[in-house]
């Protein structure tokens, strides 16, 4: 057995994978453990949910991505417990994995703010399974509307509500607008897909609340051009098979719909909660773990937290957002910090985030971007978005051909991945189905 320093990485998302890759040439023994055998490019999940891409086009087996990295072992398993004193992690199957340094990159989950019962009628978008379920839900709604003879019920089927006007909500609404206005426009006989009502609801004052105000306004205008309505300053008080109930400044309101998509709220995994408890780490309400300036858990210099799970404040004291850039930069920083520690070199300077900008795509040639402080709208922003996704998706696998093919389909409004498959394919049309019945 090797007596080299053992680094265990939990999670093969952006944070974990970037940490592992940054350790490629380090004289260490690295074990990356993920409960899934693939790395998922989450920023393109909504493309799967809206039928532009197939799941295989945005996921890559972690084992394959790291196959040339001889110092790294990949294990399929779910971390469920930790003993920070004995320095070992327990997996769900009972195995224990010892570490000298631990990098925790288990990401985040969708939160329903204590209303888990809403999940059955309002799927969130975090996993490949979520994306295919949402795809089924959207396609089945159009199919049900086509078969429906009752005008009110048809209108209910053609109403789509997205909860949350952050980047995911905006991207989903834009894609839905394109489906209704362009992709499906010749496909039905009884309905006109353009009659679809797409409504985003959000408790904040504006869409893309974390973006500069001019970009929010631009995004709202671009969404409006696609027939999408934005309702801000309203909160969801109930979701069930018949629709969404809202609390508005004018009182309670019900929107009749069978298709609600949840794009609001994040929580952390059960393992992350256990870790926080075992290390007495401070967390915010969602469970993000507050880290020291070197990304370690206070009083546990061998446990690093990276990516969405970490609560890191910027220079102004504002928490860094849960975006891929933060995950990649914290992942690489941690790798360098561990390498220096093992080499006996002085520690790195505290972690500092380099914000390259924010991007949200709304549709074909429609996007907003804030790149190094330069605000872009419409086509130029969309080109930047395309370029960045091309760069990053290629960085972890050779998918340039797929992306070119996808870009072509995107330009022609064609959404080839519009199949209703699996369990959902056997459902009777015209009856709202809970989430559990719509998987593959
Ligand atoms: C729909 C959507 C759209 C997004 N769009 C953008 C965008 O346009 N731009 C952007 O910058 N960011 C975007 N993000 C955010 C970005 O994807 C995340 O910030 C990033 O993925 C965080 O990386 P991470 O490594 O912390 O977590 P993740 O990428 O979520 O990876 C966590 C990994 O940990 C594994 N895991 C979890 N628990 C355990 C456990 N107990 N044991 C073992 N393994 C475990 C999971 O299987 C997963 O592979 C988007 C996110 C979503 C959901």
Give the best-scoring range by mean pLDDT among 225-234, 270-279, 405-414. Answer: 270-279
Closest Cα to atom 23, ligand 1: which residue?
A: 14
pLDDT of 274-297, one tens digit each?
Answer: 999 999 999 999 999 999 999 999
The token duo for 5 is: 């320093």
Q: Is the pLDDT confidence value at 40 over 60?
A: yes
Weakest mean pLDDT among 95-99, 243-247, 384-388: 384-388
By annotation, the residues acting in catalysis are 171
pLDDT of residue 32: 98
Whether 269 contacts 110, CB under 8 Å:
no
pLDDT, average across residues 364-373: 88
Closest CA to 194 of 211, 206, 210, 177: 177
Please indicate, yes or no, whether residues 130 and 229 belong to a single structural domain of this protein: yes
Q: Which residues contact 420 (CB under 8 A, 6 or more apart)?
A: 135, 136, 139, 140, 143
Please indicate, yes or no, whether residues 285 and 412 belong to a single structural domain of this protein: no
Closest-lying ligand 1 atom to the alpha carbon of residue 359: 8
- How far is ligand 1, taken at its centre, from the CA of residue 105, in Å? 9
Q: Is 48 a domain residue? A: no
The token duo for 263 is: 């794009």
Confidence of residue 5 (pLDDT cuts 50, 70, 90): very high
Higher pLDDT, residue 394 or 360? 360
Q: CB of 33 closer than 6 A to ligand 1?
A: yes
Closest-lying ligand 1 atom to the alpha carbon of residue 77: 43
Please indicate, yes or no, whether residues 123 and 235 belong to a single structural domain of this protein: yes
Please indicate, yes or no, whether residues 322 and 210 belong to a single structural domain of this protein: no
pLDDT of 55-94, one tens digit each?
Answer: 888 888 999 999 999 999 999 999 999 999 999 999 999 9
- How far is ligand 1, taken at its centre, from the CA of residue 120, in Å? 22
Please indicate, yes or no, whether residues 325 and 251 belong to a single structural domain of this protein: no
Is residue 404 within a helix (H) or strand (E), and if so which, with residue range?
helix 400-411
pLDDT of 140-157, one tens digit each?
Answer: 999 999 999 999 999 999
Whether 401 contacts 69, CB under 8 Å:
no
Q: CB of 38 closer than 6 A to ligand 1?
A: no
Q: Is 61 a domain residue? A: no
Q: Is 101 a domain residue? A: yes
User: Which domain range does residue 242 map to?
Assistant: 117-263+358-437
Closest CA to 144 of 420, 401, 384, 435: 420
Whether 30 contacts 73, CB under 8 Å:
yes
Cα-trace Rg, the chain: 22
Confidence of residue 408 (pLDDT cuts 50, 70, 90): low
* pTM of this structure: 0.93
- Which of 32, 107, 111, 287 has the most ligand 1 atoms within 8 A of CB, as the residue to mutate? 107
Please indicate, yes or no, whether residues 98 and 163 belong to a single structural domain of this protein: no
pLDDT of residue 388: 82
Whether 124 contacts 37, CB under 8 Å:
no
Q: Is 221 a domain residue? A: yes
**Mean pLDDT estimate for the chain:** 91
Angle between helices 324-343 and 14-22 (to 10 degrees): 30
- Which of 38, 102, 170, 324 has the most ligand 1 atoms within 8 A of CB, as the residue to mutate? 324
436 φ/ψ sector (left φ>0, alpha ψ -120 to 50, else beta): alpha
pLDDT, average across residues 216-231: 93
Closest CA to 200 of 230, 177, 166, 172: 230
Closest Cα to atom 39, ligand 1: which residue?
A: 106
The token duo for 426 is: 């056997």
- How far is ligand 1, taken at its centre, from the CA of residue 83, in Å? 25
The SS3 call for residue 155 is helix
Q: Is the pLDDT confidence value at 268 over 80?
A: yes
Q: Is the pLDDT confidence value at 393 over 70?
A: no
CA distance 252 to 238: 11
Please indicate, yes or no, whether residues 329 and 183 belong to a single structural domain of this protein: no
Higher pLDDT, residue 226 or 425? 226
Phi, psi of 298 (to 5 degrees): -50, 135
Please indicate, yes or no, whether residues 206 and 306 belong to a single structural domain of this protein: no
Closest Cα to atom 8, ligand 1: which residue?
A: 43
The SS3 call for residue 141 is helix
pLDDT of residue 398: 47
pLDDT, average across residues 351-360: 91
Please indicate, yes or no, whether residues 376 and 321 belong to a single structural domain of this protein: no
CA distance 16 to 78: 14
Q: Is 45 a domain residue? A: no
- How far is ligand 1, taken at its centre, from the CA of residue 324, in Å? 8
pLDDT of residue 292: 97
Q: What is the DSSP letter of 349?
A: P
- How far is ligand 1, taken at its centre, from the CA of residue 109, in Å? 8
Higher pLDDT, residue 333 or 43? 333
Whether 107 contacts 11, CB under 8 Å:
yes
pLDDT of residue 356: 85
Please indicate, yes or no, whether residues 106 and 121 belong to a single structural domain of this protein: no
The SS3 call for residue 313 is strand
Beta strands in 62-173 (DSSP E): 72-76, 79-83, 88-91, 96-98, 101-104, 108-110, 159-163
pLDDT above 70 covers what percent of the chain?
92
């Amino acid at each position: 057995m090797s007596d080299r320093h053992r680094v265990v990485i939990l999670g093969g998302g952006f944070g974990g994978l970037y940490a592992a890759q940054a350790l490629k040439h380090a004289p260490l023994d690295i074990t990356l453990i993920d409960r899934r055998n693939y790395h998922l490019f989450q920023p393109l999940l909504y493309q799967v949910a809206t039928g532009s891409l197939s799941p295989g086009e945005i996921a890559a087996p972690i084992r394959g991505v790291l196959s040339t990295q001889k110092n790294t072992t990949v294990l399929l398993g779910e971390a469920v417990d930790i003993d920070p004193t004995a320095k070992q992690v327990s997996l769900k199957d009972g195995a224990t994995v010892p570490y000298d340094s631990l990098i925790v990159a288990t990401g985040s989950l969708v939160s329903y703010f204590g209303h888990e019962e809403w999940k059955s009628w309002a799927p969130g978008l975090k996993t490949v399974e979520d994306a295919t379920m949402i795809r089924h839900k959207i396609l089945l709604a159009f199919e049900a509307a086509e078969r429906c003879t009752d005008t009110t019920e048809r209108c209910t089927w053609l109403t789509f509500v997205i909860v949350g006007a952050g980047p995911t909500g905006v991207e989903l609404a834009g894609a839905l607008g394109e489906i209704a206005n362009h992709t499906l426009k010749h496909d039905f006989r009884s309905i006109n897909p353009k009659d679809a009502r797409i409504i985003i609801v959000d408790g904040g004052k504006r869409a893309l609340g974390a973006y500069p105000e001019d970009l929010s306004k631009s995004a709202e205008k671009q969404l409006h051009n696609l027939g999408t309505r934005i309702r801000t300053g309203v909160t969801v008080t109930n979701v069930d098979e018949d629709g969404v109930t809202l609390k508005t400044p004018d009182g309670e309101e019900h929107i009749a719909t069978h298709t609600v998509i949840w794009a609001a709220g994040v929580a952390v995994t059960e393992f992350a909660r256990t870790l926080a408890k075992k290390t007495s780490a401070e967390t915010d309400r969602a469970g993000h773990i507050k880290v020291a300036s070197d990304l370690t858990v206070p009083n546990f210099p061998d446990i690093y937290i990276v990516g969405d799970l970490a609560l890191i404040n910027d220079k102004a004291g504002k928490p860094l957002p849960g975006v891929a850039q933060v995950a990649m930069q914290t992942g690489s920083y941690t790798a360098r910090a561990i390498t220096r520690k093992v080499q006996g070199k002085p520690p790195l300077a505290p972690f500092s985030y380099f914000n390259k900008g924010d991007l949200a795509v709304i549709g074909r040639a429609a996007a907003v971007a804030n790149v190094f402080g330069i605000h872009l709208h419409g086509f130029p922003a969309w080109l930047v978005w395309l370029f960045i996704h091309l760069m990053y998706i290629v960085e972890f696998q050779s998918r340039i051909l797929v992306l070119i093919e996808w870009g072509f389909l995107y330009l022609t409004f064609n959404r080839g991945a519009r199949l209703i498959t699996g369990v959902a394919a056997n459902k009777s049309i015209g009856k709202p189905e809970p989430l559990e019945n719509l998987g593959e």
